[in-house]
Amino acid sequence: MIDFHSHILPKMDDGSGSVEESVALLRETLAQGVERIFLTPHFYPKREDPEEFLHRRAHAAEKLFSCGDDVLKRIQVYLGAEVAFFYGMSRYEELNKLSLGRSQYILIEMPFDRWTQEEVRELIDVKEVAGLIPIVAHIERYLPFGNKKYIDYLVLNGILIQSNAEFFISKRTRHKALRMIKKGRIHFLGSDCHNLSARPQNYGEAVKIIGSDLLRKVEEKEKEIITYMKRPQ
């Protein structure tokens, strides 16, 4: 199993605050049956340019990977980013540097509002113009704004969808999440874990709710892309 969305890199964003907390989160991730994980700190284009972000990410990763804890030998870790949507991103030359595991896949956080047709078109252009395949982060967070109508259109245009484990865990949204995964409207799962208390690793709990039959759909999609991923050197 692969956790496609986490904030485990120490002191990168609002996630892990230390190497020790990062190691503890990785240990919990492994204990819940996750074999691979993407470390996807927030990238906000209005706050810093990609080179600054990548420099900070490399520094945080070096601190984590050099700590010597054996958990880093037992779980496969990839670097990535949760890229905040911005107009023009499909033509932004530096966008590929923010991809998942230096692959053709990129995790994008869409606006927390009712999407416009122009925003949806820009997302599709990331695939058609930039040559990167968008994975929409935590799809459940956009549904309350009336964006459900766009999901089928995005999927038909080759856009992939990630949901957080909490979407399945919450009794309030569980049935909706299960319907979406049955219909092929959720392709990947992520914990979106930030820390050990308020936003801990919960991937394993979601897996129990989803069940083995539906989980096979996720695992089949994971196999399609994992060969493109490169681990940090």
Which tens digit of pLDDT belongs to each residue from 104-163?
Answer: 999 999 999 999 999 999 999 999 999 999 999 999 999 999 999 999 999 999 999 999
Considering the domain boundaries, does residue 58 fall inside one?
A: yes
DSSP type of residue 65: H
Cα-based torsion angle of the residue sequence 112, 114, 119, 120 in order, rounded to the nearest 10 degrees: 110
Considering the domain boundaries, does residue 232 fall inside one?
A: no
Cα-based torsion angle of the residue sequence 122, 42, 1, 189 in order, rounded to the nearest 10 degrees: -50
Rounded distance, CA 129 to CA 7, Å?
29
Which tens digit of pLDDT belongs to each residue from 56-98?
Answer: 999 999 999 999 999 999 999 999 999 999 999 999 999 999 9
CATH of residue 15's domain is 3.20.20.140
Q: What percent of the chain shows pLDDT beyond 90?
A: 91
Considering the domain boundaries, does residue 56 fall inside one?
A: yes
Considering the domain boundaries, does residue 208 fall inside one?
A: yes
Considering the domain boundaries, does residue 231 fall inside one?
A: no
Considering the domain boundaries, does residue 68 fall inside one?
A: yes
The rounded mean pLDDT for the chain is: 95
Q: Cα dist. 201→34, 105, 174, 196, 197 in Å? A: 10, 23, 18, 7, 9
Rounded distance, CA 45 to CA 162, Å?
21
Q: Which structural domain range is residue 150 located in?
A: 2-226
